A and B are shown apart, each in its own frame.
Chain A
Amino acid sequence: MQRFANPGQFLRLAAVVQPWAAGVGAVATAVGLYFALFLSPADYQQGDTVRIMYVHVPAAWMALSIYLGLAVAAALSLVWKHPLADVAARAMAPIGAAFTALCLITGSLWGQPMWGTWWVWDARLTSVLVLFFLYLGHIALANAFDDADRGARAAAVLALVGVVNLPIIKFSVDWWNTLHQPASVMRLGGPTIHGAMLAPLLLMWAAYMGYFVVVLITRMRTELAERRLRALQLNAEQATRMTASAVEAG
């Protein structure tokens, strides 16, 4: 019967939240970009490349927090069998993967002028790369079954295994990195962040969050519509089969 679980409450809430998230996101994008590109100072060491940070670091935050959200949804799905949890997880994964990819690409664009190379096997970069692989595996597994519910539950188990593994991967990559110190690479995140840089960071994060909520809700609605469509088709099939057998019997 769970296929027919009424998502009405969610849809009503979503209709209220979505315009607000869109508004907050749009304002934060405009103000954040103004701060990031005009108001914030160029770094005395990195010059204007520091502006890449304002699209890069919030993307990293999003990449991690969406994976945690995925794990929470997985737990809700497996333990409490909440029907919306699967819908949310399936909708979340591509957005998380997009932010992870953005984090990697913008990081690479930052690395080239600062480190003189597009890619360094630095502990952080490597961990984010592994996170990207975890996202890809999750998306592939969720879509690999003819039965969507089975795919969602398998992906939920994978998300939980992944979230348990994330600290271990982070630890082992750090361990590996201290063994193989990369040669003459300027370390990031050393100096404390100046207030003038913190404001655009937080604003861009708010913009990403707004974007995330709007896209997540739209994707969840789509998923719900698709599920309803499948249920309708199944019902119609059953109905025709029943009338056919009734005709035979009659």
Chain B
Amino acid sequence: MADFLAMGGYAAFVWSAYGVTALVLAGLGLATVLSARRARAALHEAEQQIQGRRRTSRAQARAQR
């Protein structure tokens, strides 16, 4: 196991290459997921708002009648 981790003496280079790859791809993935969640929440809120407004305006119209 120690032999494997040592990578024939090049451990620093091999493992940091794999580490950087994992880090960058995970970082981009995380940013993507977070922005997706934010966008979905904002859209949901806006849709709710519009529906709410429609309901109140309809109610107002009914009351006026």
A residues at B contact (CB < 8 Å): 37-38, 42, 47-49, 51-52, 55-56, 59, 94-95, 98, 101-102, 105-106, 109-110, 112-113, 211, 215, 218-219, 221-222, 225-226, 228-229, 232-233, 236
Assess the B7–A51 pair: CB atoms within 8 A: yes
24 residue pairs bridging A and B, Cβ less than 8 Å apart: A42-B8, A49-B8, A49-B10, A52-B17, A55-B18, A55-B21, A98-B25, A102-B20, A102-B24, A105-B17, A105-B24, A106-B20, A109-B13, A109-B16, A215-B28, A218-B33, A219-B35, A219-B36, A225-B40, A226-B39, A229-B46, A232-B43, A232-B46, A232-B50
Residues of B within 8 A of A56 (CB): 17
Residues of A within 8 A of B59 (CB): none
B residues at A contact (CB < 8 Å): 4, 7-10, 13-14, 16-18, 20-21, 24-25, 28-29, 32-33, 35-36, 39-40, 42-43, 46-47, 49-50, 53
Residues of A within 8 A of B18 (CB): 55
Assess the B47–A222 pair: CB atoms within 8 A: no
- Kindly provide the distance from the CB of A82 to the nearest chain B CB, expressed in whole angstroms: 21
Beyond A98-B28, A236-B50, is A229–B43 a contact (Cβ under 8 Å)? yes
Assess the A106–B32 pair: CB atoms within 8 A: no
Assess the B9–A47 pair: CB atoms within 8 A: yes
Assess the A232–B47 pair: CB atoms within 8 A: yes
**Which residue of A37, A38, A110, A225 contacts B13 across the interface (Cβ within 8 Å)?**
A110
**Which residue of B7, B16, B43 contacts A228 across the interface (Cβ within 8 Å)?**
B43
**Which residue of B29, B43, B50 contacts A225 across the interface (Cβ within 8 Å)?**
B43
Beyond A48-B14, A109-B16, is A59–B21 a contact (Cβ under 8 Å)? yes
Residues of A within 8 A of B53 (CB): 236
Residues of B within 8 A of A112 (CB): 13
Residues of A within 8 A of B50 (CB): 232, 236
